[in-house]
Amino acid sequence: MTTIRRFCCNDLLRFSLVNFDHLTETFNMSFYMTYLARWPDYFNVAEGPGNRIMGYIMGKVEGQGESWHGHVTAVTVSTEYRRQQLAKKLMNMLEDISDKMDKAYFVDLFVRASNMPAIKMYEKLGYVIYRRVLRYYSGEEDGLDMRKALSRDVEKKSIIPLKRPITPDELEYD
């Protein structure tokens, strides 16, 4: 029961039930607004009956040449609406936009190395661990950079895993 539409500012006033979740970060305003101002097609919300916010995804598109890619910054689903493949729907939508509208080569995302449920979910959605980023989260926990190749990357070059882990300062994009 999902109307997926662009996220708008007023949704910030209604997403508290989603953001109370301890793994969902509530960013500062300029972060949200920058995403809305620059990549509105990559920031979508799923709304259910009674105008309830079920979950949302925020992302962007960036990079040069063959590393032109879509990036998932956050994807989250409210407790009540879990276990019904909503995250998958939101991810598919972002992949679709990266693939068809922006002709990106791949989509990537970062996840805490300890967040096994999320890693498993991304794997099910076709993402592979491309590389490990040492101490990516607040200088403490490692992050995994996961990728899924899009149709433009015919040879799937973008997802060949790197052999060694990298440090955050080696990242091309933040």
Partner 1 sequence: MSSKFGLAGGIPERRVRPIWDAVDSRQFKSALKLSTGLLSKYPNSPYALALKALILERMGKPDEALNICITAKEKLHSHDAIHMDDLTLSTLQIVFQRLDRLDLATSCYEYACGKFLNNLELMMGLFNCYVREYSFVKQQQTAIKMYKVVSEERFLLWAVCSIQLQVLFSSGGEKLLQLAEALLKKHIVTHSLHEPEALLIYVSILEQQAKFEAALEVLSGDMGSLLAIEVDRLRIKGRLLARAGDNATAAEVFQKILELCPDDWESFLHYLGCLLEDDCCWRKEIINDPLYPSQLVDRPSLLTEETFDSRISGALSFVKKLQTETNNEPIRCPFLGNIEIERRRRLYGKANDGELIEALLEYFRRFSHMACFTSDVEMFIRILSHNEKLELLGKLMKIFETSPTTPIKKLGQSITVFKVQELIGSTFSHPVVELENNVIQMVEMYCGNLQLSKDLDPQENMHGEELLSMACNLLVQLFWRTRNLGYLLEAIMVLEFGLTIRRFVWQYKILLLHLYSFLGAYPLAYEWFGTLDVKNILLETVSHHILPQMLTSPLLSDLTDLLKEYLKFMDDYQREAADLTFLAYRHRNYSKVIEFVQFKERLQHSHQYLLGRCETSILQLKQTSANFENTEIILGNSNFDRQLLKFSSEDECKSLTFNDDLQSRPWWSPTPEKNYLLEPYNGGFFCQRESLQHAGGRQANVRKVIGRRSLLPRLVYVSIQSSSENIGTDGSIMDNSSSPELKHLLERYADSFGLSLDKAIEVILRTAEEEKSIEELGPETIDWMNFAVFVNALYLCSNQHGVLNRDGQRASSWHIVDRLIQKCISERVLHAQPILTCPGGDLSFFVQMVSETCAWHALIIQSCIRSLVPSGKKKKKVGPADQLNSPLLQSVCTSIESLHSVIESVKTWIDEQIGRPEDQNIDTLLSHLNVEKCDEGPGRVLGVLKQVSASVDSELGERILQAFQTWSYVDVIRKIVKGQHTVLSEFQRICDSKLKLLLSLKQSISGA
- Asked whether position 21 contacts partner 1 by CB under 8 A, the answer is yes
The residue type found at 60 is: K
Which of 40, 32, 35, 37 shows the shortest CA–CA distance to 13? 32
Nearer to partner 1, 25 or 162 (CB): 25
Cβ nearer to partner 1, comparing 121 with 134:
121
Contact 55, 81 (CB under 8 A): yes
For the stretch 59-80, what's the b/e string if a residue is b when 16 or more beta carbons lie within 10 angstroms of its beta carbon?
bbbbbeeeebbbbbbbbbbbee
Considering only residues 74-103, where is the footprint of partner 1 by CB under 8 A? 79-85, 97, 100-101
Nearest to partner 1 of 33, 162 (CB atom): 33
Instruction: Decide if residue 16 touches partner 1 (CB under 8 A).
Output: yes
* 48: contact with partner 1 by CB under 8 A: yes
- Distance between CA atoms of residues 64 and 78, nearest Å: 35
Min dist CB 167 to partner 1, Å, is 21
Residues 117-146 that bind partner 1 (CB under 8 A): 117
Q: Please identify which residue in 66, 103, 116, 161 interacts with partner 1, judged by CB under 8 A.
A: 116
The torsion region of residue 18 among left (phi > 0), alpha (psi -120 to 50) and beta comes to alpha
Phi/psi at 165 (5° precision): -75, 160
The site for partner 1, by CB under 8 A, has a size of 49
Q: Which of 49, 139, 140, 174 binds partner 1 (CB under 8 A)?
A: 49
SS3 at position 141 = strand
User: Cα separation of 19 and 15, whole Å?
Assistant: 6
Q: Per rule CB under 8 A, is residue 52 in the interface with partner 1?
A: yes
Interface with partner 1 by CB under 8 A: which residues?
Answer: 1-4, 8-10, 12-14, 16-17, 19-23, 26-30, 32-34, 36-38, 40, 47-52, 54, 79-85, 97, 100-101, 115-117
